[in-house]
């Protein structure tokens, strides 16, 4: 293709997205074996799931600030090495507390991944292509997450759960080594970038011409009105996503009696369908913006995605057939991901040179949903023995997120308020 180096940057970030979800999702599939071997209760397993999200939320903004200051080449190399090390360290867990600590430290590493990618895209991707590229990035992540239950099920017959974490950690280390050797933070710094590609990127990426790389202050970020609704919708997205990657396999077993290959397929189906939704939300919002405003185009997918997600999850609670309920859960989850690329593209647009910090703030608030989701389900089910009640809560949260999208405006700029 004409701008081949830019395409390879995107391919590298897609591989990163796949690794992040491979490492996150595998613990949900292995949870029954881990719980049995370490004698963990449902609530204890909920805290283990949430330990990752606590770290992810706490370290997202500092990691984003670091990426804005020092560049994504260095920062992504370090954070991938850190989380890969603690993915492997999961194999050494011996009780509840050790597992909580290891998964927390794993989350510290992963906290810097997506804000750093936002920083990469702000330098390498033209404004008009940003929604499409964000969609491709998330599609890679969700396809990996959707296939992970099948991969784990396939290898669990000849590898114990501890060995699986060791293998997955090595994949991340390989990525980090290749990334540091090949990537450069600015197109003009990469020896393979032609003058034509460099000029095209710099003329169309939407960054101010002044070479001011100082990180945005907290005040500047929160003075931008559209950051708040972006955070609200991110909370909803993470709340649902963490259900899909933590308790969904257990839900399908406990509420609908699924086992074996059927369980593996339906456990990964929300993320597999999200592959299509990511591409649709990203490319669709960019294409629609050519006929209506970018603001309106992003809102169409934001509001529409969450309304359909709320409806799909609600309908799943009304069905007794496990196949039908699992299908509606998957459809609802995928519809929520129609919003993901427009949201992150909006954060990059709004942030400008401070895209990492802006995306980090959105992602950090979103992770509060990830912290609460596994725990709310564990406590609700323990108190009521009703597996559908947490899904009704999720449907309501999706509906609120759809309303929040009405206030999102990607044309606002953090730098205008710094």
Q: Tell me: the pLDDT tens digits for 338-363?
A: 998 889 888 878 877 777 777 778 88
If you classify domain 4-203+215-417 with CATH, what class do you get?
Answer: mainly alpha
Q: How many CB atoms lie within 10 A of CB 51?
A: 21
Q: Are 272 and 142 in contact (CB under 8 A)?
A: yes
Tell me which range, 99-108, 246-255, 362-371, is most confidently predicted by mean pLDDT: 99-108
User: Tokens at residue 66, please?
Assistant: 């670091």
Q: What is the CA radius of gyration of the chain?
A: 20
Maximum CA extent, the chain: 64
Sign of CA dihedral 214, 232, 299, 117: positive
Residue 328 to residue 325: CA distance in whole angstroms: 5
* pLDDT surpasses 70 at 45: yes
Residue 385 to residue 349: CA distance in whole angstroms: 45
* pLDDT surpasses 80 at 372: yes
pLDDT over 90 percentage in the chain: 39
The per-residue pLDDT for 415 is 66
At 78-122, the pLDDT tens digits run 999 999 999 999 999 999 999 999 999 999 988 888 888 888 998
* pLDDT surpasses 90 at 52: no
User: Tokens at residue 415, please?
Assistant: 């730098």
* pLDDT surpasses 60 at 248: yes
Q: Are 291 and 227 in contact (CB under 8 A)?
A: no
C-beta contacts of 196-205 below 8 A and 24+ residues apart: 197/2, 197/3, 197/5, 197/6, 200/3, 200/126, 201/3, 201/6, 201/123, 201/124, 201/125, 201/126, 204/126, 204/127, 204/128, 205/122, 205/123, 205/124, 205/125, 205/126, 205/127
Region 234-254: mean pLDDT is 90
Query: pTM of the full predicted structure?
Result: 0.74
CA 52, 144, 115 angle in degrees (round to 5)?
Answer: 50
Q: What is the DSSP string of 25-51?
A: HHHHHHHHHHHHHHT--HHHHHHHHHH
Region 258-279: mean pLDDT is 84
Residue 303 to residue 236: CA distance in whole angstroms: 12
Residue 418 to residue 405: CA distance in whole angstroms: 24
At 120-176, the pLDDT tens digits run 998 898 888 887 887 888 887 778 777 877 788 788 778 899 999 999 999 999 999
Please, what is the average pLDDT of the chain? 86
* pLDDT surpasses 70 at 218: no
User: Tokens at residue 128, please?
Assistant: 């008009």
């Amino acid at each position: 293709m004409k701008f081949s180096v830019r395409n390879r940057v995107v391919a590298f970030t897609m591989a990163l997205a796949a690794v992040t979800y491979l490492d996150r999702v595998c613990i949900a599939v292995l949870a029954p074996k881990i719980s049995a071997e370490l004698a963990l209760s449902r609530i204890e397993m909920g805290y283990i799931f949430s330990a990752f999200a606590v770290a992810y939320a706490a370290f997202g903004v500092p990691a984003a600030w670091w990426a804005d200051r020092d560049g994504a080449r260095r920062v992504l190399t370090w954070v991938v090495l850190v989380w890969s090390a603690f993915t492997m360290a999961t194999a050494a867990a011996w009780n509840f507390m050790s597992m909580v600590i290891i998964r927390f430290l794993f989350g510290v590493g992963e906290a810097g991944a997506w804000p750093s990618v936002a920083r990469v895209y702000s330098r390498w991707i033209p404004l008009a292509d940003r929604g499409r590229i964000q969609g491709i990035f998330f599609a890679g992540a969700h396809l990996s997450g959707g296939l992970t239950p099948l991969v784990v099920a396939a290898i669990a017959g000849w590898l114990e759960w501890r060995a699986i974490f060791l293998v997955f950690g090595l994949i991340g280390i390989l990525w980090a080594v290749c990334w540091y050797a090949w990537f450069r933070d600015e197109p003009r710094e990469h020896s393979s970038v032609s003058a034509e590609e460099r000029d095209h990127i710099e003329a169309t990426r939407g960054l101010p011409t002044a070479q001011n790389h100082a990180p945005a202050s907290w005040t500047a970020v929160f003075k931008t009105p559209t950051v708040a609704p972006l955070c609200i919708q991110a909370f909803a997205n993470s709340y649902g996503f963490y259900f899909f990657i933590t308790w969904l396999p257990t839900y399908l077993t406990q509420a609908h009696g699924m086992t074996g290959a059927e369980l593996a397929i339906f456990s990964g189906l929300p993320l597999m369908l999200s592959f299509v939704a990511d591409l649709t939300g990203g490319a669709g919002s960019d294409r629609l913006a050519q006929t209506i405003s970018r603001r309106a185009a992003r809102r169409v997918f934001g509001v529409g995605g969450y309304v359909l997600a709320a409806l799909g999850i609600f309908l799943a609670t009304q069905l007794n057939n496990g196949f039908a309920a699992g299908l509606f859960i998957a459809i609802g989850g995928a519809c929520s991901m129609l919003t993901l690329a427009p949201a992150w593209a909006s954060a990059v647009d709004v942030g400008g040179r401070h895209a990492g910090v802006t995306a980090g703030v959105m992602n950090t608030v979103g992770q509060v949903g990830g912290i609460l989701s596994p725990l709310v389900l564990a406590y609700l089910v323990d108190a009521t023995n009703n597996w559908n009640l947490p899904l009704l809560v999720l449907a309501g949260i999706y509906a609120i997120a759809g309303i929040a999208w009405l206030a999102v405006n990607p044309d606002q700029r953090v730098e205008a308020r710094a």
